[in-house]
């Protein structure tokens, strides 16, 4: 097996084991391909991976063109600027980083009628740090309601990037707060089924706390160039 096959087998086995330990029905794996070339996406797709995550709209569009022959699912996971709403709505299957109301109407307006509604996750700043992206926990309900009111958008759940904390306890606490917000959102919106949290360093901890989707880059592709 080459690096990519070995890495894919290892990550999918670890996700499956964590899923089973948590008693969760399913956990989706999004391969984070930011800064990686299209050849790396193609290699991982050959292993069976379908969902890929990108942080930058422009970089993603160029890469997507190189692998347009493959049936892939694209997730935008980086901060979205208002002037990129049209391209985001046109070129992705999922937007995981919705963090403010003013993006909702443009995303819906620009979603091409021929495509399925854009799947949307509300990104939450679960640590309450001013520097990080994501809405405040007390803003989730209003943002979610705005998304749910748009037929061209499909509210699917929540996403978070907890601040890196050396202590597992602090990370676990952030994941647990997300799980609580997720359960509350599900009580209001029956279609909500996705809690996206956990990366290379902590995806098993996230799955134990209730993640239904993890976003893994480094472990699948190797370290990114600085
Ligand atoms: C880069 C990134 C990831 C993947 O991080 P790794 O540590 O390389 O697994 C996941 N989610 C988001 C939002 C990212 O920006």
Tell me how far the alpha carbon of residue 114 lies from the centroid of ligand 1, in angstroms: 30
Q: Where are the beta strands (DSSP E) in the chain?
A: 28-32, 51-54, 73-76, 94-98, 118-124, 153-160, 194-196, 213-216
List beta partners, residue 73.
51
pLDDT tens profile 53-71: 999 999 999 999 999 999 9
Tell me how far the alpha carbon of residue 141 lies from the centroid of ligand 1, in angstroms: 25
Residue 114 pLDDT greater than 80, yes or no? yes
Q: Whose CA is nearest to atom 13 of ligand 1?
A: 77
pTM of the model: 0.97
pLDDT tens profile 3-30: 889 999 999 999 999 999 999 999 999 9
Q: What pLDDT, on the 0 to 100 scale, is given for residue 73?
A: 98
Q: What pLDDT, on the 0 to 100 scale, is given for residue 210?
A: 98
Classified as helix, coil or strand, 54 is: strand
What does the mean pLDDT of the chain come to? 95
**Ligand 1 pocket: which of 60, 77, 99 to mutate (most atoms within 8 A of CB):** 77
In angstroms, the CA 112 to CA 115 distance is: 6
Q: Does residue 102 contact residue 109 with C-beta atoms inside 8 Å?
A: no
Q: Does residue 181 contact residue 137 with C-beta atoms inside 8 Å?
A: yes
Residue 76 pLDDT level (bands cut at 50, 70, 90): very high
Q: What pLDDT, on the 0 to 100 scale, is given for residue 226?
A: 73
Q: How many CA atoms lie within 13 A of 157 on its CB side?
A: 19
pLDDT tens profile 159-201: 999 888 788 888 999 999 999 999 999 999 999 999 999 999 9
Q: What pLDDT, on the 0 to 100 scale, is given for residue 130?
A: 59
Q: Which two tokens stand for residue 36?
A: 């990686």
Q: Whose CA is nearest to atom 10 of ligand 1?
A: 215
CA geometry: angle 13, 224, 127, nearest 5 deg: 75
**Ligand 1 pocket: which of 59, 195, 215 to mutate (most atoms within 8 A of CB):** 215
For the CA of 199, the closest atom of ligand 1 is 9
Tell me how far the alpha carbon of residue 9 lies from the centroid of ligand 1, in angstroms: 19
């Amino acid at each position: 097996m080459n690096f990519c096959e070995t890495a894919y087998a290892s990550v999918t086995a670890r996700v499956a084991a964590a899923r089973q330990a948590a008693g969760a029905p399913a956990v989706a794996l999004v391969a984070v391909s930011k800064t990686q070339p299209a050849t790396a996406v193609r290699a991982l797709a050959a292993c069976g991976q379908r969902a890929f995550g990108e942080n930058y709209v422009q970089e993603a569009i160029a890469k997507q063109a190189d692998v347009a022959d493959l049936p892939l699912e694209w997730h935008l996971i980086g901060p979205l600027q208002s002037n990129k709403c049209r391209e985001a709505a046109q070129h992705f299957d999922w937007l995981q980083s919705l963090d403010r109301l003013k993006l909702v109407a443009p995303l819906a307006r620009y979603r091409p009628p021929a495509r399925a509604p854009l799947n949307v996750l509300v990104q939450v700043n679960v640590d309450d740090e001013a520097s990080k992206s994501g809405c405040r926990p007390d803003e989730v309900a209003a943002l979610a309601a705005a998304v749910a009111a748009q037929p061209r958008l499909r509210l699917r759940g929540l996403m978070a990037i907890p601040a890196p904390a050396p202590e597992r306890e602090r990370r676990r606490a952030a994941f647990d707060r997300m799980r609580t917000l997720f359960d509350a959102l599900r009580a209001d919106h029956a279609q909500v089924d996705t809690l996206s949290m956990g990366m290379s360093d902590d995806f098993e901890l996230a799955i134990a706390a209730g993640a239904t989707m993890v976003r893994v880059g480094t472990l699948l592709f190797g370290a990114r160039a600085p």
